[in-house]
Structure 1
Amino acid sequence: MGRMLDRLYDLAGALAALAILMICVVVAAQIGLNILARVGGPGLSFTIPSYADFAGFALAAASFLALAHTLRRGGHIRVTLLTNRLPHGARWAVELFVLALATALTAFATYYMWLLVAESLHYNDTSPGMIAIPLWIPQTPVALGLSLLTLALIHTLVESVQARGAILTGEGGAE
């Protein structure tokens, strides 16, 4: 089960990378069009409609879809100044507390993000740009990313409890 979840987190990370690639392509294309307008004059002035909106939506998708993958790979910034000074048992208890708190806060944010997606669908909310995009479309990857982060936090919390239990029963080898 853990391996399957890690593959799911990796898939989300790959989708985040594609979103970043999309940002690069859209912004590079608009820069190319801006250069064309400077060189060729006003007759060759073109703009990709709502390109900034598309780049922003892709940035939100990339940021949130990458969270679970980054957590499981140990890429989040951790402040260990205090925890490194604690005895091993206290450090483990603090880690569990922080994981549980992060899980609760992320689950709260996930719940309300999915409510926002449902509200956007219900009211047919659209973006205010030149191209009106239904807002549920860019909101869904954010909600998915938060859902995966919640799942990854639960996954990490369960692994931490199991690892400590294995150590205490002598199944985990030397500490």
Structure 2
Amino acid sequence: MNQQKKRSFFLTRWIDHLSDLGGALGAVCLLILAVMISYEVGVRYFTGRPTTWILQISVYLSMAIGFLGAAYALKRDSHFAITFFVDLLSEHKKRILRVFTNLVCIAYSITFIVKGLEMAYTSYKYNDVSTGLLGVPLWIPGLLLPIGGLLLALQFFNKLMDQFSPQATGKN
């Protein structure tokens, strides 16, 4: 095995670990969200009044679940796909299409990163805070977009590299 393949293998393994970490953090956020909503239901039932902070935090946790878990879902091929027309293609053309779509998705993910950083920086620069009772600085949840975009771009890179593996090219 040459040095480049070792580096690539290490890199793809490292990217997979980052995606796993994002998925685990998303799962923790989901657990916290479930506990918070259960608490909210209990408080409303016994007091007849809602809490003032659960809604705001639940929105941020929902954002975290989506943005942090997206790369993990991609790694596991858990995103939905409509493959009716793709299934009609030859294996070679399917591979070309996968390379193209992974490149497009990397570009899209980079847009998430760049625009997300711009948004978070603007929120930070102008001291934007949420209008809710908590007054959360909006750059904090705003960073979820570029972090999720980075994880997603890296995992799309992994998917792209898979298309050049001996198994994908048929050169074992």
| TM-score normalised to structure 2 length | 0.88
Tell me the amino acid that sits aligned with residue 116 of structure 1: M
How many angstroms apart in 1 are the aligned matches of 2:82 and 2:63? Answer: 25
- TM-align CA RMSD: 1.6
Q: What residue in structure 2 maps to residue 41 of structure 1?
A: none
What's the offset of the Cα at 1:145? 1.1
After superposition, where does 1:40-119 map in structure 2 within 5 Å? 45=49, 47-119=50-122
Paired residues in the alignment total 162
Q: Does 1:34 find its partner at 2:34?
A: no
| TM-score normalised to structure 1 length | 0.86
What's the offset of the Cα at 1:95? 1.1
Q: Does 1:132 find its partner at 2:142?
A: no
Q: What residue in structure 2 maps to residue 42 of structure 1?
A: none
Q: Does 1:146 find its partner at 2:149?
A: yes
What's the offset of the Cα at 1:155? 1.7
- Aligned structure 1 segments of 4 or more residues deviating by more than 3 angstroms: 162-166
How many angstroms apart in 1 are the aligned matches of 2:169 and 2:101? Answer: 21
SS of residue in 1 equivalent to 2:165: helix
User: What do residues 91-122 of structure 1 show as CA deviations (whole Å, max 9, x unaligned)?
Assistant: 11111111111111121122101111111111
For structure 2, list consecutive stretches of 5 or more residues without a partner in the other structure: 1-9
Q: 1:12 aligns with which of 22, 25, 38?
A: 22
How many angstroms apart in 1 are the aligned matches of 2:163 and 2:44? Answer: 52
Based on CA coordinates, which of the two structures has the bigger radius of gyration?
Answer: 1
For structure 1, list consecutive stretches of 5 or more residues without a partner in the other structure: 39-44
Q: 2:161 aligns with which of 158, 164, 168?
A: 158
User: What do residues 36-81 of structure 1 show as CA deviations (whole Å, max 9, x unaligned)?
Assistant: 114xxxxxx5x43221010000000101100000001110111111
Tell me the amino acid that sits aligned with residue 127 of structure 2: N
Say if 1:123 and 1:87 are closer, same or farther in 2 by CA, change over 3 A.
Answer: same
